[in-house]
Chains A and B, each alone.
Chain A
Amino acid sequence: MPILETEVRWVKPPTLGLLDRLYLPAIAEGLSTTIKHVFQPKVTQQFPEERPDLPANYRGLHRLNRDADGRAKCVACFMCSTACPAHCIDIVAAPSPWPDREKYPEMFVIDELRCIYCGMCEQACPCDAIELTSMFDLTGVSRAEMMFDKEKLLSVFDQTAGVGKDPVRTKAGALSCASEPNV
């Protein structure tokens, strides 16, 4: 259907008056704006000293959650490594020594260099065992160092538990006990 003549709105460029044509008032206005900014509070964050206040749904380094007994909550179901689009999660399952679950991860390695931090692993996890934290400044001097094994991922939990930022996406305690029972 063609556009109706009545619906067409013609816009004419504004005609410049004498003051607009001299450009000096416009320049003065621009200068007053920029000078006003000189005295405004600064927004710079002095990074290493000042840490950014990240939003609660920030997707940073992974952690493996512990249950109330200090064990990894993971039951080695392979849902996360199946969901992972970057294939960066490597799990070796073994029969569980505890009566409350069938399997546990004998080895759980995440290649943090391959990970794209999409958060699909934590969505896939049926027992809230893997979560993304707000830690973003992970560095290493070798590739091997960036392969985070089970111990390292559990230690991330110990560092970030109780910060208050995690967990936010998982339904804490819906299928198994909450990730951070004390919080």
Chain B
Amino acid sequence: MKKDWTDLLREKLENYAPQVPEGSFEELKKKMLAAGAAAGAGAAGGGSVPMKRKGLRWIAAAASLAAVVAGGALLLRNGGKTDTDTAKNDAVAVVESAPEDKSVASEEAVAVNGSNLAANDSDLSEAVAVNGSNLAEAVAANDNTPANASPAAPSKGNLARSNKPVKQAVSEPITVIESKPEDVLADAGNQTDNIFDSNTENTAAAQNEPTVSSQNSNTVSAQPADKSDTVRDIYIIKDEPSESKTEPVSRQLKRFSLGASGILAANAGSNSKAAPNQLAYEVDKYGNKYYSMGSPELNYHYTAPVSGGISLRYHLTNQFYAETGLRFTYLRTWVSPTGAHQNLLYAGIPVGLGYKFLNTTHFDLYGSAYGMASKCIMGRESTNFPSNYTKLGEIPVMFSAGIAPGAEYRFNNLIGIYAEPTLSWYFKNDKAPQTLYKENPLYFTLNIGLRFNL
């Protein structure tokens, strides 16, 4: 689209200023003071420009931040358990006894990890502890009834077996001893030759497992599982709550994810079209019309903001997450009739909470709410003629809040792409430079970026 010749003329010459005023300001100041004295103190420029009250925005910002922090703390407190924890805490102890002699049969307490048949340390420790607590008794029982002791069942990857009367095991509640499995194994190992009928590989494997200390009282229920061939009393030792233990790797909870995004579309606040100046003229005592001395209305033309940054997401639970990051926003405003360009670069720190509505192997749907404080790290006003710029001082912090539904598609376990249509509200501050956000506080953007699951 061709520009009108008047627009071209204005663009070229509006700020063309080839001549610097001669003389110092001091000479001019004398004239001004003399004229001011003649005009009267009230009218002259001895007063200050009225300053707007501040404080309300700080209260609003503090309240928003407090709400976010309180919400996060609450979630951390109530929803601390994750799939990772529960999966590791799930375990089954199988106790087998010979069918022909249940009363004095030796017991094989087997700790089996539910997911991969490797021994779970916590359960192993519990199993060992249980057996350890009755160590002397079990040894004695074993010694007393060597003929009744059943041969070791095929291992099948099971780790620990110990001899213990079944009835005793059923009738006595199992006491959970919170201790490191290594300690228990070491203690048990001192006396284990005839107690642990296990090979060294399995024991070593057990010791190499990560330590998960069980904090809940485990419940033991006796259930005859298989009465046909061999009587197997299955004791289920499990921490509550039990959740899915066989999630695909890609869905396993990763605590942190790092996102890098930029705004690809931002058009809710369209650029304002310069409106013709409102004519305001006054008539002097001689009847001459002249411009009003009141402040002229400025017309602002805004370019679409450019924004980008990184975000760090911390998963509080499988659904809830907290998010923060660093976001840069570049705002450019052209002011007429002065013709100056205001260039503002903000660095903002968002703090938010989110919830995943849908969490599949490759696809997530979620929503979040956030508050953000943005500090202007570069603010200047520039003119083309003469070509110079002036730093803008004392630009207040810009506060905003918003909601952002989002969708993420994960290519693999590490990387995914996401899109977040974001509706933001920018809190008005009269002292801030005129920007698109000031004119249109409610602003829509579309964040698109990559997210790395760490």
Does chain A bind chain B? no
